[in-house]
Structure 1
Amino acid sequence: MQHTSTDRDGVTVLAFSGRMDATTVAAFDEAWRARLEAGANRLVIDMGGIEYISSAGLRGILGLLKACKSGGVGLAFCGIGEMVGEVFRISGFTGMLSIHPTADAAVAALA
């Protein structure tokens, strides 16, 4: 899994690509934890490059969601592809997450 981090109007945007599974979820966790520890209070997760997500990946997202809720951090997701979107729908994640079509829309939602 690869990721990049950018700052847009005070919102940290983490863009991920590759597979999100048991072997890569640690990199996902490390990336968002580092941003929260650095003081990010608004976070966008761009999943446009994620081609596959497993149950381990879903657990990683739950960990992020819990950390953001307990820390008062604004969180939004964007760029959800068809396969990941279907997994989110089946698992009930669409009702728990703020999901937007683009990073710009997600950043605007957190502004």
Structure 2
Amino acid sequence: MKREEILKLIPEEGFIKVPESGGVPLSPERKVILMRKGNQLFNDGDIETAGRIFITIGYTDGLIRVGDYYYSHNKTLEALRMYKAAPSQHKADMIVEKMATIVRGWLGTN
């Protein structure tokens, strides 16, 4: 398959869905309660649920921690999704660059 044919297979919207940043409107008290619950879940090892809570409340530090966890466990696309939601452009760019290197290797354009 030629490079042009391969590139046409990439969907315009990309490969992953990135949640909207900023979360939903919540009272400061409710946000603190959910942040604590998300941190507890993260510490207890329920990373997926913690990530959903952090997305809901728009908790940047929590999203970055979840992204770091996923990255360290070779779940690169999930890590990228969390970094983009945070937003942590530096960490997202690091992953995108690694992915681009892999794709360039596949296409033989090193």
TM-score (norm 2): 0.31
Specify which structure has the higher proportion of helix: 2
In our comparison, the structure showing a higher alpha carbon Rg is: 2
Higher relative contact order (CA 8 A, sep 6+): 1
Specify which structure has the higher proportion of strand: 1
